[in-house]
């Protein structure tokens, strides 16, 4: 049995060797060289920080090719390689930020090789696993509010939570990613808190994100409104993080009108302006509206707003502001226009009213008794209500009076003096001078008949006039007073002898200068204005100073003018 097996093996070897020998002989006879290629390593390993590694190629072929597998094209690069024969290949790996190991292959091939290309396995270690969350707390104020936290990681992770009042998206992932948390329920009265857990199988410690929702709140600004009687609209601001609704809580016994006030909108969510509209108030009383807003989720009463509306402006007018009665008395009416309660009062016993109170428009009759006195009398009717007052002034004449004077004119000389006139009357009277600086009367008032003395002061100026008014109850008289002005005259200066020094100049102080050109040779005094004299005309009576001058010599003197023509002789030697 053993021999048969050896025989079969021997035959097989022969059959294989004979063709090989034939082929070898053929190659040798044609000078053929076999192509070959070897690489110095079958694998390359990099740390997570990356770096460069090299391997050598030993080859006798051309058109060498070094290729990186497609899954590593982003992180593995061939920096240099030979194109033929022997050479060194340098490979660079970028850092690996992931916690997972990366793998790739490098294929080395050449043209004409009989064997398969060389394969080099490449690995790069994963980085240390990282898992961080930012921020670590999210706070929510309202429903449907979204917040974001960031996961920083280089590995796979997942999120775990157990609260039903918010949603999270996504719940799992790999690497860095933003996670959105949305509150889907409205805040509650006490507020609430929960936790979100982020964990990874590659990181021992879990990461926690605190989730908080504020307590429910609602407030109003402003907390009160005031409207005019005409009504209108104002806006209030609702600050809230919940849904809310308006309701009326005006206490009973307060003047109000529930249908007269509206809120738009009357319900809402979160912050919102609300328009408050109030209808006109036709009454004069102030209206009050107590309103509140409540938390719909918890049905808790929220803040209160007090709305005040003024009443319509009270009206109280009297058409007739005065009434005039004759001495005989009688009746007269006045009209009251009002939308409030009023009362009417007379302050005189001789004047009575048909109505003393009312609450709307009305007419009141006033009755005056006869006035037996010669004096006019007055009264006042006061109509008041709602803080308003109207006055009606009432006048009643006295019986017929008489008032006369003995003269209607008085004339005084410029020197002044006193004169009298008589008043005849059955009533009281007054006497008034309209020029009290120079004309006075005594007495200035009285009753019945009386003599009045009028005194005028000296008049040193031109003619002047004044009036004296004598007045009684309904009658007055005017007495014209005239006082003549200070008289005027002429002063004539003359000489009776020849003046050897030449012409004689006369200067009258405050008046001017005249020249005596001739001596007067007639008998007696020359007339005013005679030829050759120095004459000054239109001079008020009074004392004057003069100076006579001739060729440097002069003489002075005084002269008093008290007549129409005053000659004055100058003695000159």
User: For the residues 181-204, what does the mean pLDDT come to?
Assistant: 89
Alpha helices in 368-489 (DSSP H): none
- pLDDT in the model for residue 24: 42
- Which two tokens mark 392? 């009606």
Fold of 316-396: Immunoglobulin-like (2.60.40)
Q: CATH assignment of 403-483, given 2.60.40.10, 3.50.50.100, 2.60.120.10, 1.20.1630.10? A: 2.60.40.10
Pick 252 or 526 by higher pLDDT: 526
- Give the span between the Cα atoms of 352 and 129, in whole angstroms: 110
Do 37-124 and 403-483 show the same overall fold?
Answer: yes
Q: CATH assignment of 131-213, given 3.30.420.40, 3.40.50.11740, 3.40.50.2000, 2.60.40.10? A: 2.60.40.10
Q: pLDDT digits over 16-31, tens only?
A: 444 444 344 434 434 5
Q: What percent of the chain has pLDDT over 70?
A: 94
Lowest pLDDT segment from 289-303, 448-462, 478-492: 289-303
Fold of 37-124: Immunoglobulin-like (2.60.40)
Cβ atoms of 506 and 513 within 8 Å: the answer is yes
Cβ atoms of 153 and 178 within 8 Å: the answer is no
- C-alpha distance across the termini of the chain, in Å: 214
HSE-CB of 503 using CA atoms within 13 angstroms: 10
Domain limits of the chain? 1-32, 37-124, 131-213, 223-309, 316-396, 403-483, 488-569
- pLDDT in the model for residue 33: 63
Q: Quick one: 388 exposed, middle or buried, by C-beta within 10 A (0-12, 13-18, 19+)?
A: middle
Measuring CA to CA, how many Å separate 545 from each of 8, 182, 239, 562? 193, 119, 102, 14
With a cut of 80, say whether residue 295 has pLDDT above it: no
Long-range contacts of 157-161 (CB under 8 A, 24+ apart): 157/131, 157/198, 157/199, 157/200, 157/203, 158/198, 158/199, 158/200, 159/196, 159/197, 159/198, 160/196, 160/197, 160/199, 161/194, 161/195, 161/196, 161/197, 161/211
With a cut of 60, say whether residue 10 has pLDDT above it: no
DSSP 138-204: EEE-STT-EEEEEEEESSEEEEE---SSEEEE-SEEESSEEEEEEE-S---TT-EEEEEEEEETTEE
- pLDDT in the model for residue 32: 52
Q: pLDDT digits over 361-393, tens only?
A: 999 999 999 997 877 899 999 999 988 999 999
User: For the residues 48-59, what does the mean pLDDT come to?
Assistant: 91
Q: How confident is the model at residue 255 (pLDDT cuts 50, 70, 90)?
A: confident
Which residues are CB-neighbours of 339 under 8 A, at least 6 positions away?
284, 312, 314, 315, 360
Q: Taking the alpha carbons of 117, 119, 120, 126 in that order, is the dihedral positive or negative? A: positive
With a cut of 50, say whether residue 571 has pLDDT above it: yes
- pLDDT in the model for residue 28: 42
Q: How confident is the model at residue 299 (pLDDT cuts 50, 70, 90)?
A: low
- pLDDT in the model for residue 13: 41
Q: CATH assignment of 488-569, given 2.60.40.10, 3.30.70.141, 2.30.110.10, 3.90.1150.10? A: 2.60.40.10
Q: Which helix (H) or strand (E) holds 364?
A: strand 362-368
Q: pLDDT digits over 514-553, tens only?
A: 999 888 888 889 999 999 899 999 998 889 999 999 988 8
Pick 173 or 10 by higher pLDDT: 173
Fold of 223-309: Immunoglobulin-like (2.60.40)
Q: How confident is the model at residue 438 (pLDDT cuts 50, 70, 90)?
A: very high
- Which two tokens mark 279? 């209808």
Q: What is the largest CA-CA distance in the chain?
A: 222
The pTM of the full predicted model, rounded to 2 decimals, is: 0.43
């Amino acid at each position: 049995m053993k021999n048969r097996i050896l025989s079969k093996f021997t035959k097989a070897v022969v059959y294989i060797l004979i063709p090989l020998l034939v082929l070898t002989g053929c190659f040798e006879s044609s000078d053929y060289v076999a192509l070959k290629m070897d690489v110095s390593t079958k694998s390359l390993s990099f740390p997570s920080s990356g770096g460069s590694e090299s391997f050598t190629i030993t080859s006798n072929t051309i058109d060498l090719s070094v290729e990186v597998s497609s899954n590593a094209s982003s992180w593995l690069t061939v920096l240099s390689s030979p194109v033929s024969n022997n050479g060194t290949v340098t490979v660079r790996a970028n850092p690996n930020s992931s916690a997972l190991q990366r793998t790739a292959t490098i294929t080395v091939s050449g043209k004409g090789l009989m064997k398969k290309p060389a394969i080099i396995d490449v690995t790069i270690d994963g980085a240390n696993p990282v898992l961080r969350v930012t921020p670590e707390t999210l706070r929510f104020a309202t429903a449907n509010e979204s917040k974001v936290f960031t996961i920083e990681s280089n590995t796979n992770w997942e999120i775990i939570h157990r609260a039903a009042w918010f949603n999270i998206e996504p719940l799992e992932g790999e690497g860095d990613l933003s996670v959105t948390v949305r509150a889907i329920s409205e805040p509650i009265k006490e507020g609430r808190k929960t936790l979100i857990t982020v964990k990874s199988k590659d990181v021992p410690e879990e990461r926690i994100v605190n989730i908080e929702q504020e307590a429910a709140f609602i407030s109003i600004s402003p907390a009160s409104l005031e409207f005019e009687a005409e009504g209108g609209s104002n806006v209030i601001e609702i600050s809230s993080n919940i849904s809310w609704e308006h309701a009326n809580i005006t206490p009973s016994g307060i003047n109000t009108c529930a249908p007269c006030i509206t809120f738009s909108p009357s319900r809402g969510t979160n912050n919102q302006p609300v328009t408050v509209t109030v209808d006109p108030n036709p009454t004069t009383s102030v209206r009050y509206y107590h309103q509140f807003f409540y938390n719909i989720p918890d049905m808790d009463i929220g803040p209160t707003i007090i709305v005040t509306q003024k009443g319509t402006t009270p009206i109280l007018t009297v058409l007739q502001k005065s009434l005039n009665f004759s001495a005989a008395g009688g009746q007269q009416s006045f009209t009251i226009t009002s939308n409030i309660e009023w009362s009417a009062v007379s302050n005189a016993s001789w004047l009575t009213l048909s109505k003393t109170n009312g609450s709307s428009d009305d007419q009141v009759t006033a009755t005056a008794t006869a006035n037996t006195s010669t004096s006019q009398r007055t009264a006042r009717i006061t109509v008041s209500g709602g803080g308003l007052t109207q006055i009606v002034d009432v006048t009643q004449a006295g019986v017929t009076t008489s008032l006369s004077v003995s003269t209607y004119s008085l004339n005084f000389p410029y020197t002044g003096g006193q004169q009298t006139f008589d008043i005849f009357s059955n009533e009281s009277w007054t006497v008034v001078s309209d020029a009290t600086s120079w004309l006075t009367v005594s007495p200035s008032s009285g009753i019945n008949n009386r003599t009045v003395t009028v005194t005028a002061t000296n008049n040193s100026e031109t003619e002047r006039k004044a009036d004296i008014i004598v007045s009684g109850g309904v009658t007055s008289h005017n007495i014209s007073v005239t006082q003549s002005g200070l008289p005027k005259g002429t002063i004539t200066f003359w000489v009776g002898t020849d003046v050897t020094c030449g012409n004689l100049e006369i200067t009258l102080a405050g008046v001017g200068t005249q020249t005596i050109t001739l001596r007067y040779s007639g008998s007696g005094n020359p007339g005013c204005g005679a030829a050759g004299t120095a004459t000054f005309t239109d001079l008020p009576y009074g004392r004057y100073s003069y100076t006579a001058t001739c060729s440097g010599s002069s003489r002075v003197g005084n002269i008093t003018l008290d007549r129409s023509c005053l000659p004055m002789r100058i003695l000159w030697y």
